[in-house]
């Protein structure tokens, strides 16, 4: 078992790190303050190959692995978890279109997505069905053989109103998970509208809105795969999404740990450097140890997904649950170590605390991760 990185992995990790430090880090605080969506900077990231990281090269993507993606997203999130998280969603949708779409759909959409000329969103959650995603109510009724008429709403959609394409789970059949299909809705479609941007605790560099469908007529040709396959696609997409958001947590926690180390070496109290206090040394040691454990879990889950291992879904849930919980704790500990300065926006720690808090909720809450893990364990023990 080799825990080292290849030369290629070190190269694109370095590219991501340089981009994050030069482009994202100097502006992340302002984007958070102004609720600014950094479209041009996201396009710059796409020009580096970060718009279709694990889309196969034959479809115009970078053709990297889930582990490679985790390395990239951790480096980008070191500067800005919010903007990086939007890029992870963009990549997840690009992959879904590449994998589940047909040749005509890939030709229509993928090149623009990978280049960042079109931004994409993933629409699963509804106002009345969050964790119970299979209970979604948005319904698409066939209008002849060529169109669906769609009615319903999606909630908490990252990129709502800003993205150009919305990969949407909607009910085309019965009221079970088998009645759900995956349909791409293009911005500008009659009957598609958006709620006001949510006023959020964090993730302020990306808009989050309701997405509403009112007699929205969408071509059947926009459906990915056969009818009734949407819920399966959604769950498969979420396995990778959980690794991605866990990787974003790693980046944010590493930034906060580094800031805590630097502050502790500079700050003096009671005539001594903070680093002379054993209680603080132990705190830093625990933060570093917990972060390394989380990173190993994320990388192991990514390899399981890359290899199609039978326990990949469980490992993705474990990694997401542990990494997002522990990395939020590390950021909070870093803020505590900074004292009052940690609460001031100039030091940026509070931005990481706010951004990483939502990671424990999205891509399936950490309570749902425990349900998935327990279910898989019990199935294996049966």
Sign of CA dihedral 297, 300, 306, 310: negative
β-pair partners for 151? 139
Measure the CA–CA gap between 156 and 175, rounded to whole angstroms.
Answer: 23
40 is catalytic: no
Q: Provide CB contacts within 8 A for 129, sequence distance 6+.
A: 135, 136, 137
For 161, the 3-state DSSP assignment is coil
The three-point CA angle 165-169-171 to 5° equals 135
Question: Minimal CA–CA distance to 202: which of 32, 20, 77?
Answer: 32
**For 292, how many CA atoms within 13 A lie in the half-sphere containing its CB?**
7
Measure the CA–CA gap between 245 and 190, rounded to whole angstroms.
Answer: 33
Structure tokens that stand for 315 in this block: 């490992």
Reported as type and span, the H/E element at residue 116 is: none
Q: Which class for 269: exposed (0-12), middle (13-18), buried (19 or more C-beta within 10 A)?
A: exposed
For 49, the 3-state DSSP assignment is helix
Q: State the catalytic residue, choosing from 75, 363, 367, 379.
A: 363
Measure the CA–CA gap between 126 and 133, rounded to whole angstroms.
Answer: 8
C-alpha separations of 263 from 22, 28, 220, 268, 330 in Å: 22, 20, 57, 9, 15
- Residues annotated as catalytic are 363
């Amino acid at each position: 078992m080799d825990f080292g990185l290849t030369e290629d992995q070190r190269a694109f990790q370095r590219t991501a790190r340089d981009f994050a430090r030069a482009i994202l880090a100097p502006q992340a605080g302002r984007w958070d303050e102004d609720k600014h969506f950094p479209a041009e900077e996201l396009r710059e990231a796409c020009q580096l190959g970060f718009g279709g990281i694990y889309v196969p090269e034959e479809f115009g993507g970078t053709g990297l692995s889930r582990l490679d993606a985790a390395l990239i997203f951790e480096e980008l999130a070191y500067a800005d978890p919010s903007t990086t998280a939007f890029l992870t969603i963009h990549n997840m949708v690009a992959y879904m279109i590449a994998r589940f779409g047909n040749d005509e759909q890939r030709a229509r959409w993928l090149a623009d997505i990978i280049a960042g000329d079109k931004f994409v969103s993933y629409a699963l959650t509804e106002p009345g069905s969050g964790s119970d995603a299979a209970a979604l109510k948005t319904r698409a009724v066939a209008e002849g053989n060529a169109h669906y008429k769609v009615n319903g709403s999606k909630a908490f959609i990252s990129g709502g109103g800003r993205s150009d394409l919305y990969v949407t789970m909607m009910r085309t059949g019965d009221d079970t998970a088998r009645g759900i299909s995956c349909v791409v809705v293009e911005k500008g479609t009659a009957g598609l509208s958006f709620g006001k941007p949510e006023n959020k605790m964090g993730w302020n560099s990306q808009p989050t809105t309701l997405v509403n469908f009112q007699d929205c007529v969408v071509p059947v040709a926009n459906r990915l795969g056969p009818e009734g396959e949407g819920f399966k696609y959604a769950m498969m997409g979420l396995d990778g999404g959980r690794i991605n958001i866990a990787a974003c947590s790693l980046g944010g926690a590493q930034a906060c740990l580094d800031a805590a180390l630097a502050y502790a070496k500079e700050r003096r109290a009671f005539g001594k450097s903070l680093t002379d206090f054993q209680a603080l040394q132990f705190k830093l040691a625990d933060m570093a140890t917990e972060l390394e454990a989380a990173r190993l879990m994320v990388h192991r889950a990514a390899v399981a997904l890359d290899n199609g291992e039978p326990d990949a879904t469980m490992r993705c849930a474990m990694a997401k649950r542990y990494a997002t919980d522990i990395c939020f704790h590390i950021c909070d500990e870093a803020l505590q170590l900074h004292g009052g300065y940690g609460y001031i926006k100039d030091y940026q720690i509070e931005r990481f605390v706010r951004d990483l808090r939502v990671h424990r909720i999205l891509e399936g809450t950490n309570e749902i991760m425990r349900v998935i893990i327990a279910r898989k364990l019990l199935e294996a023990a049966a």
